[in-house]
Structure 1
Amino acid sequence: MASTFIRKLFTGDSGDDPAAVAAYNAMTTAFLQSDQLITEIEGGVAAARAVDPTGQVTQQWVPLRERYSAATATYLQLQRPVPDAPYQPAPVYQECTRTLERVCDDMTRFRHRFSDALGRARAAQQLATEAAQKARIDANTAVAALDRTENLPYLQYPSVVAAVDVLAERVRTLDTVTGNADRREAAAAVTDATAAIHTALAAAPGRGAEAQNAVRSIATRISAVATRAEHIGPARSALLREFSAACSNDLVDNDRLAAAESTAADHELQAARGEITAGRPESALAHCTAAREHLRTADAAVDAVTDRLRTLREVRDNPAQVADKVRFRLRDAQQLAMQRDLVADWGSVLDAQVERIDRACAALDGVHPDYWTYMTDLEAIDRFITGIVDRLRGRG
């Protein structure tokens, strides 16, 4: 009784055709072989497709994969639905077996032909996967650092908030990209963002002292600018006494500009002190940055007047020196044009600068020489000649 059950289980009913049973088993073996092959190959093909969607690997694989799918569909149709189901004639199974074997042979040849490409693609995919995994670990570590008790007071600091926002955005990008190169790039961006969080948290405890020092420094600078601004009036008066009004018309409002910018800097300073009192040192530092910008403008307004007076006096004492420097540069440019055999291209342009220099010098012969226009005209000519020299050297 038991032997009959065993025989029915493994070989079917005693009425089954042994050739059909053997053919069915051979078909099953061929299918299992094809399934194993496609499992080995398809991961590499997917990796290769991610690198080059239209490459040879993808092009060659698509029709082979379709043949495998068709052969598999036939195999599934021929499978016996239950153990006691009757077998079909052996030739039916044999035809499917031959189809599966041909597909296996072609897949084996495909694997051999593209083994290097598939290997490189798998390696690239592995690197991208590892980079993404490491980036996510880094991100989790940064998030855990935010939850530490000692860091809780700094979670509202703008630098920390901004760093957290960047990390969240870059993790979202990592979750959406698919290509190996894009995944590695996105993973690197996540790692950089996590480092920024650690940097912000490490710097946060010192922001209070940094803000206090900045406030003291700016208070000192405001006082220094106010002291220096006292020289604007005398310098402006000297300009008007010694030179024509045209030499300083653009500086008429510099005293008011310096005062307004100093006042704006002081307002920012007071705001910074208020932020420190409120326990927001990074906001205080932002006000300090704005105060420094105002002070730079105020400094420039003061320097413009005193520097103009000094410069005009130097030009007045030796006006020929300014023109001589430009003429010297012009002669060098003319010689360079000759050396590079470019006189036909640039000779007339350079010669025209002689007339420009002469006109600038002639303008000083009036009753009230405009030394500022004289100097700025010569500087413009000098810049023009310098540009020509650069082009001469570039063509040479």
Structure 2
Amino acid sequence: MARTFMRRWFSGGPDDDPAAIGAYNAMTTAFLQTDRLLAEIEDGIAASHDTDPTRDVVGRWTPVREQHAQATSRYLELQRPEPESPYASAAVYEDCTRRLEQVSAEMTAFRERFGEKLARARAARQIAAEAVRQARAAADRAVAELDRPESLPFLQYPSVIAAVDVLAAQVRRLDTVTDSADRQESATAVTDAAAAVHAALAAAPGRTGEAQNAVRSIATRISAVATRAEQLEPARSALLREFSAACSNDLVDNDRVAADAAAAADREVQAARGEITAGHPESALAHCGKARDHLRAADDAVDAVTDRLRSLREIRANPAAVADRVRFRLRDAQQLAMQRDLVGEWGSVLDAQVDRIDRACAALDGVHPDYWTYTTDLEAIDSFIGGVVDRMRGRV
């Protein structure tokens, strides 16, 4: 009696409705097919999103994914809570199966259309993942190198500290990026930073010798600068004797500038020697770098005087040659203005340079010609003409 009641209430049991059982099994098979397709495509979609979130393939997948979600929701509604639960009618299962098969066809078409793009995205993600793996391994090796007892004396070297700081920063960045391209770029940066740590540790034992050699070299240069500075007085005397004072007024203090720079370089060398004694060769090298800067300033101060004397003598020997070069440059510019039909825009500007050249040449008249003002004025005119030419050619 109870069995008859149950049949009537649930429209039959599993043993009494073979069509419903078959339809249910077909529905399950269709669902499993869509589930396999979903797993395959979603992996490629995730990879494509990682490599390029703006790709069209990601947007085109969304409606297909929504169709699958709706069909899956209906399938889950028709699942029996327990194996002994009754089946629905075959028609109900068949309707869900048609939905699932339609979605399966849409997913298959999507895979065939975009399969190559998805495969490339998966490959790019795998490449990025391998680069990340290698980068982390490289970072681990660098840390292990830092932990070796042999590295202990060099851990406070600025070069080692800087390399370690860069490595730590690059590893932190690698931990935050998600885009495949960014991950690969970041992984490369980590690998390079790890290599820099190894390089810093490898170079550290030789820093003391490097610093000692630098100190000796700079000490030699200081002596050479002092020797060259001895030429300043004869050169200054020649300038004042042969040319007007205006030609070298800006060089009056160059002997003091050279001497001060050489003294500053010597102080840096002394500081470098102290750092070497204290076991800080990289600090010594920093002082050596400052000493070289001072020496360059001393050399420049000496060269400015000797070069000025040589230049003024060349100009005095043929002053017209300087003006002729500028006039030639001006004629070329005027011809360019005519060729490009730019006379209306630049003609008067270029014509005005003729007067500027004439005024510069007139400055040589008199008992004490100012050759330096003459040449600097002409250089300024030449530079101005060059700027006009650049504008006419569209370079500016």
Aligned match of 1:356: 356
**Could you tell me how far 1:309 is from its partner in structure 2?**
2.4
Structure 1 stretches of 5 or more lacking a match?
A: 1-11
Structure 2 stretches of 5 or more lacking a match?
A: 1-11
TM-score, with structure 2 as normaliser: 0.87
Does 2:67 correspond to 1:71? Answer: no
Q: Given residue 158 of structure 1, which amino acid in structure 2 is its aligned partner?
A: P
Aligned match of 2:301: 301
**Could you tell me how far 1:47 is from its partner in structure 2?**
1.8
Aligned match of 1:127: 127
**Map of 1:255-334 to 2, 5 A cutoff?**
255-334=255-334
Q: d(CA) in 1 for partners of 2:265 and 2:202?
A: 29
Q: Check the 8 A contact 1:132/1:187 in 2, yes or no.
A: yes
Q: d(CA) in 1 for partners of 2:246 and 2:14?
A: 122
**Could you tell me how far 1:333 is from its partner in structure 2?**
4.5
Q: Given residue 275 of structure 1, which amino acid in structure 2 is its aligned partner?
A: E
Does 2:379 correspond to 1:379? Answer: yes
Change (3 A) 1:85 1:148: same
TM-score, with structure 1 as normaliser: 0.87
Aligned match of 1:80: 80
**Could you tell me how far 1:17 is from its partner in structure 2?**
2.9
Q: Check the 8 A contact 1:16/1:87 in 2, yes or no.
A: no
Q: d(CA) in 1 for partners of 2:196 and 2:281?
A: 19
**Could you tell me how far 1:295 is from its partner in structure 2?**
0.9
Q: d(CA) in 2 for partners of 1:343 and 1:393?
A: 13
Q: d(CA) in 1 for partners of 2:166 and 2:94?
A: 62
Aligned match of 2:150: 150
Q: Check the 8 A contact 1:34/1:103 in 2, yes or no.
A: yes
SS at match of 1:325: helix
Q: d(CA) in 1 for partners of 2:394 and 2:356?
A: 25
**Could you tell me how far 1:355 is from its partner in structure 2?**
2.4
**Most deviating of 265-274 and 78-87:** 78-87
Q: Check the 8 A contact 1:337/1:392 in 2, yes or no.
A: yes
Aligned match of 1:104: 104
Count residues with an aligned counterpart: 384
Provide the aligned C-alpha RMSD in A.
Answer: 2.6
Aligned match of 1:26: 26
Q: Given residue 279 of structure 2, which amino acid in structure 1 is its aligned partner?
A: G
Q: d(CA) in 2 for partners of 1:344 and 1:298?
A: 50
Aligned match of 1:159: 159
**Could you tell me how far 1:366 is from its partner in structure 2?**
2.4
Q: d(CA) in 2 for partners of 1:352 and 1:88?
A: 101
Q: d(CA) in 2 for partners of 1:384 and 1:253?
A: 31
**Could you tell me how far 1:356 is from its partner in structure 2?**
2.0
**Could you tell me how far 1:107 is from its partner in structure 2?**
1.1
Q: d(CA) in 1 for partners of 2:94 and 2:335?
A: 93
Q: Given residue 254 of structure 1, which amino acid in structure 2 is its aligned partner?
A: N
SS at match of 1:369: coil
Percent of matched pairs sharing the same residue: 73
Aligned match of 1:254: 254
Q: Check the 8 A contact 2:68/2:103 in 1, yes or no.
A: yes
**Could you tell me how far 1:221 is from its partner in structure 2?**
1.2
Q: Given residue 274 of structure 2, which amino acid in structure 1 is its aligned partner?
A: G
**Could you tell me how far 1:117 is from its partner in structure 2?**
1.8
SS at match of 1:82: coil
**Could you tell me how far 1:210 is from its partner in structure 2?**
0.9
Q: Given residue 170 of structure 1, which amino acid in structure 2 is its aligned partner?
A: Q
Aligned match of 1:4: none
Partner deviation per Cα, 1:52-110 (whole Å, 9 max, x = no partner): 43443222211221222222233233322333333333333333222222221221121
Q: d(CA) in 2 for partners of 1:180 and 1:64?
A: 25
SS at match of 1:372: helix
Q: Check the 8 A contact 1:16/1:86 in 2, yes or no.
A: no
Q: d(CA) in 1 for partners of 2:248 and 2:191?
A: 56
